[in-house]
A and B are shown apart, each in its own frame.
Chain A
């Protein structure tokens, strides 16, 4: 636990300021930037800055959770377990936001909140896996046992997520942009203006979620210390 009361105002670390700045930039530029006029998509293409970037951030957080889980297994240091569980929780939160933004987008382009599509079902199944992970954690009291078993399940969960949202949708026809034989989202993203918002948005959401996770980890650490 390090105290950061550096020269920056409010005692926030530089990357927290960066996160705030990038997200302001994302929200403002996301609605103002020139986007290519494509049939059907029209203005909804701006969802790329929110939906896709949130899922990117989610995958990064889940990856962090996986790495902390593996590090717990190899070191038996309970602090890694705290990190694994909180990053996964924030990842789930981002996943839900991604589902909501995707659903709104789908209503406006495909005409339905939800369609029976490989990518969408995969996303829903991923959420189920991670909900199960949380329930698994809740079902055990002994912290070391919980940490070890949750870490094992999280390795399954992450692999499954890759299968669900990266591999399966590419093998079948999917309505979702970037699947069913299409290359990635680059087709819509070719416009350089959009790229200038997209990448900062990914970094911004990731930093924000790391920030949330960091606060949660610190709270949990204090609670655990209080209890013991």
Chain B
């Protein structure tokens, strides 16, 4: 447990030291939102608003988390290999990437509301959708990033491997956040939340069990 918190701290410190990567990511989100704003001007249709928000999330997420393993040098991976347990390593990565995704979601929501408007009727529920979505994105993308990194550091590979795996998560999250947009009662979306939690638990469990095989070289 302390190993995990230590690894997360290390991750945050590294990110803080190389602020350009993080700032670049924020700029990526802002630029994407701005491009969408200029293309759409205003979005009256709620499903479109919702879908566009999550598509921006998807691309920002893939960009953000791809570097989680793709940018690690071989030497540094070997170093981690000697000092840490693979299981706590992947868990710390998932937790760290979750925090990163949450920051990205926050910025995305802020600028998206500023430029395109914010029709969300039930904000706490929308934020819950963001939290669950970010957790799922982080779990899937951390694992896929580890796979893609082993297969030649290829960004295209990262996208084609992760998009189909993210699909069920994205579909359910979009439906859940649509309910939040419409301000429906929580009981309507209860089954969706359970599904999301189940999916996340499944992915995290698989990552926990399978990561040691990826890591061994």
Which residue numbers of A lie inside 8 Å of B, CB to CB? 73, 125-126, 128-129, 131-132, 135-136, 139-140, 145, 148-149, 151-153, 155-156, 159-160, 163-164, 168, 171
Across the interface, B164 reaches (CB within 8 A) one of A125, A139, A151, namely A125
The residue of chain B having its C-beta at the shortest distance from the C-beta of A137 within the complex is B151
User: Are B210 and A128 interface neighbours, CB within 8 A?
Assistant: no
User: Are B150 and A145 interface neighbours, CB within 8 A?
Assistant: yes
The verdict on A149 contacting B168 (CB below 8 Å), with A136-B151, A136-B157 known, is no
The residue of chain A having its C-beta at the shortest distance from the C-beta of B191 within the complex is A171
User: Are A160 and B168 interface neighbours, CB within 8 A?
Assistant: yes
Q: Determine the distance from Cα of A145 to Cα of B191 in the docked complex, in whole angstroms.
A: 40
User: Are B168 and A168 interface neighbours, CB within 8 A?
Assistant: yes
With a cutoff of 8 Å between Cβ atoms, the chain A residues found around residue B161 in the complex are: 132, 136, 153
With a cutoff of 8 Å between Cβ atoms, the chain A residues found around residue B168 in the complex are: 125, 160, 163-164, 168
7 cross-chain CB contacts under 8 A: A132-B160, A132-B161, A149-B214, A152-B147, A153-B147, A155-B206, A168-B171
User: Which bracket fits the contact residues of B?
Assistant: 20 to 34
B195 close to A (CB within 8 Å):
yes
Interface of B is mostly: helix
User: Are B164 and A149 interface neighbours, CB within 8 A?
Assistant: no
- Least Cβ–Cβ distance between A19 and chain B, in angstroms: 32
B167 close to A (CB within 8 Å):
yes
User: Are A152 and B163 interface neighbours, CB within 8 A?
Assistant: no
Across the interface, B165 reaches (CB within 8 A) one of A140, A145, A151, A160, namely A160
Query: Interface 1/0s, chain B 156-180, versus A by CB < 8 A?
Result: 0100110111011001000000000
Interface of A is mostly: helix
Q: Determine the distance from Cα of A124 to Cα of B213 in the docked complex, in whole angstroms.
A: 29
User: Are B151 and A73 interface neighbours, CB within 8 A?
Assistant: no
User: Are B157 and A135 interface neighbours, CB within 8 A?
Assistant: yes
Across the interface, A148 reaches (CB within 8 A) one of B160, B163, B191, B214, namely B214
With a cutoff of 8 Å between Cβ atoms, the chain B residues found around residue A159 in the complex are: 202, 206
With a cutoff of 8 Å between Cβ atoms, the chain A residues found around residue B165 in the complex are: 129, 156, 160
- Least Cβ–Cβ distance between B47 and chain A, in angstroms: 13
User: Are B210 and A152 interface neighbours, CB within 8 A?
Assistant: yes
User: Are A128 and B151 interface neighbours, CB within 8 A?
Assistant: no
- Least Cβ–Cβ distance between A88 and chain B, in angstroms: 15
- Least Cβ–Cβ distance between A156 and chain B, in angstroms: 6
Q: Determine the distance from Cα of A47 to Cα of B109 in the docked complex, in whole angstroms.
A: 48
Q: Determine the distance from Cα of A148 to Cα of B213 in the docked complex, in whole angstroms.
A: 7
B121 close to A (CB within 8 Å):
no
Q: Determine the distance from Cα of A145 to Cα of B195 in the docked complex, in whole angstroms.
A: 34
Q: Determine the distance from Cα of A73 to Cα of B210 in the docked complex, in whole angstroms.
A: 10
Q: Determine the distance from Cα of A145 to Cα of B215 in the docked complex, in whole angstroms.
A: 11
- Least Cβ–Cβ distance between A137 and chain B, in angstroms: 9
B152 close to A (CB within 8 Å):
yes
The verdict on A163 contacting B157 (CB below 8 Å), with A125-B164, A125-B167, A132-B164 known, is no
